[in-house]
Structure 1
């Protein structure tokens, strides 16, 4: 059965972006990047992967979910950032249609349940924190790219309005010289 995987970079203090969506402080150079291209090449935007000669055909994912703010990061230059995946963007104000992107205002949990019920590869929850909070009950696996940074404020991994303890078990961890750690958890 397909899994919903929340794969995301996070600061030491639990933020996936700064207060205004900034993410440029996250380290994008160093030995941890080999870990990304080795196992998660399909999470690299299509145009970057092509430019770098990265093969995305053998990845774990065939679908990516994101909120409107996460999607807007690449606009207007990259209106279809993950063309190698089925892309779903949750928004109440859908923009003009874009090839390869499905804009929806459906209940995220219902859509994920529907996607899980059909054959395919895993589903990548790209961001953001509000969408992740709405999908907490559907998340099967967390892959956190823990960055050696403190933000002090920003967009949290999950909305602070959520307090419903959910147990996950550590199944893998990798530490890199850059100070980045990949921590992988599955639902207990």
Structure 2
């Protein structure tokens, strides 16, 4: 069965974006991308680069991890504001929104139904794993369905912002097993955790 993988950049204090929800690695972001971080991403996760970045960097590798991306409405809006209706044309692209209505792009599927039910359907399909790119609100809604966390840790703290699982996530402790890690010279790190078991009191 396919796994739902939350592959996301985060600060040391657990935020995936600033208080306004803007892209932390974007042109006006608070985390300039280190060269070794980008090289590792290209080598290990080339499919997670947006289409325009892949073209600019000459990246053509298909990638081995994901063939489908799941995105929340606010995360998708960042691309729309930049004039990009499908930032990942090399992947099957689903956007979860009850307000967006018709898709701005024929290749992007809008999901207005229960995200948990839709993800369970996707998991039963054949293919590579499912990449949950964000945002925090969607990750919070899918918290119980996430099988793997891959955190791209920035050696920064910001004090406040959008938490890993959004501002409204339920209190539901879970244990995670560290299965892989790569620490880069810049101080950035890629850490992978598999869901272990629920934590009971």
Give the TM-score normalised by structure 1. 0.95
1:134 aligns with 2:165: no
Residue ranges of structure 2 left out of the alignment (5+ in a row):
197-201
SS in 2 for 1:31: helix
Residue ranges of structure 1 left out of the alignment (5+ in a row):
none
Q: 1:99 aligns to what?
A: 106
Q: Deviations over 1:118-175 (max 9, x none)?
A: 1011100000111111111111110001101111111000134421011110001111
Q: 2:42 aligns to what?
A: 37
CA displacement at 1:35 relative to structure 2: 1.1
Q: 2:180 aligns to what?
A: 172
Query: Distance in 2 between the 1:159 and 1:54 partners?
Result: 32
CA displacement at 1:95 relative to structure 2: 4.6
Q: 2:75 aligns to what?
A: 70
Contact 2:6-2:149 within 8 A present in 1 as well: yes
Contact 2:135-2:166 within 8 A present in 1 as well: no
CA displacement at 1:73 relative to structure 2: 0.8
SS in 2 for 1:123: strand
Q: 2:199 aligns to what?
A: none
Structure 1, 53-62 or 102-111: larger mean CA deviation: 53-62
Contact 1:173-1:181 within 8 A present in 2 as well: yes
1:82 aligns with 2:88: yes
Q: Deviations over 1:42-79 (max 9, x none)?
A: 01001210221112313311100010000011124211
Q: 2:14 aligns to what?
A: 14
Q: 2:33 aligns to what?
A: 28
Query: Distance in 2 between the 1:42 and 1:158 partners?
Result: 23
SS in 2 for 1:13: coil
SS in 2 for 1:171: strand
Q: 1:182 aligns to what?
A: 190
List structure 1 runs of 4+ shifted beyond 6 angstroms: none
